[in-house]
Amino acid sequence: MIIAPSLLAANFTRLGAEAARASRTGAAWLHLDIMDGHFVPNISFGPAVVKAIRPLTKMTFDVHLMCARPDILLEPFAKAGADRMTIHVELGPQVVPLIWKIRALGRQVGLAINPPTSMSELEPHLERVDSVLIMTVNPGFGGQEFITECLTKIQQAAAWRDQRRLSYRIAVDGGIHNSTAASCAAAGADTFISGTGLFEHKNLTAALAKMRKTVEAAAPK
Ligand code: DX5
Ligand code: ZN
């Protein structure tokens, strides 16, 4: 099980200290949300910020590109220190070349799917990716409410993984708090991205440990 704090929910007046605080929790991944104002109606931060916080932690940098033109961003983010990069299946014909490009850059590949998008869009790419990211809110903003209907998508991703003997991770992102994380774990998720659900707690380490315990207890045995 991986619990990945999402820096989007951190205090932006002191991002370096917040990244270091996330690192001290022992979390393996730090989730970095990149929004371009086109693919989603919000703008977050770019490669310069990722580069600035890279020396502060050894965590795997999990870069989530909510961007219409990842083709022009993959290299800058790889150079800035991304270890894995997730693009969106909604990009259609761009998806396969983008996957190749991420591989060519030597980074791990994630493929995200928005709540309204059918799982049939994801299916042709399952063998090409290291993780699928089931969005459990419409992307663009932190602090939104979990969309329960997405649980069936987690079950589908887990069933396909079993049937095809694949090993991609199944990540969830959006509205992940202890109770929703437990439902996702029961449905088959193994990677939990949480912004508000973790950073709202003063003691981030304790919050992360609690979420880990919760999902471990809820996961199918
Ligand atoms: C949403 C982002 C998420 C966001 C989640 O568009 O992709 O990673 O940080 O935030 P919370 O956990 O607050 O819903
Ligand atoms: Zn995200």
pLDDT digits (tens, 9 = 90+) for 59-93: 999 999 999 999 999 999 999 999 999 999 999 99
pTM, two decimals, is 0.98
Give 86's contacts (C-beta < 8 A, 6+ positions apart): 62, 63, 64, 65, 109, 110, 111, 112, 131, 133
Position 149 scores a pLDDT of 97
Q: Verify whether ligand 1 is closer than 6 Å to residue 142 (CB atom).
A: yes
pLDDT in tens, 81-127: 999 999 999 999 999 999 999 999 999 999 999 999 999 999 999 99
H or E element at residue 92? none
* pLDDT for the residue numbered 190: 98
Residue 110: its H or E element: strand 108-113
Is there an atom of ligand 1 within 6 Å of 140 CB? yes
Reported as a single tens digit per residue, the pLDDT across 8-17 is 999 999 999 9
* 15-24 vs 204-218: helix crossing angle, rounded to 10: 50
**Average of per-residue pLDDT across 201-220:** 98
Q: How far is the CA of 196 from the centre of ligand 2 (A)?
A: 12
Choosing from 33, 36, 130, 190, the catalytic residue is 33
| 47 ligand 1 Cβ < 6 A | no
Nearest ligand for residue 44 CA: 1
Distance 9 CA to ligand 1 centre (A): 8
Coil, strand or helix: which one is 33? strand
Q: Measure 125 CA to ligand 1 centroid, in angstroms.
A: 24
pLDDT tens-place string over residues 27-70: 999 999 999 999 999 999 999 999 999 999 999 999 999 999 99
Measured from the CB, is residue 78 less than 6 Å from ligand 1? no
Q: pLDDT category, 145, cuts 50, 70, 90?
A: very high
| pLDDT at position 221 over 90 | no
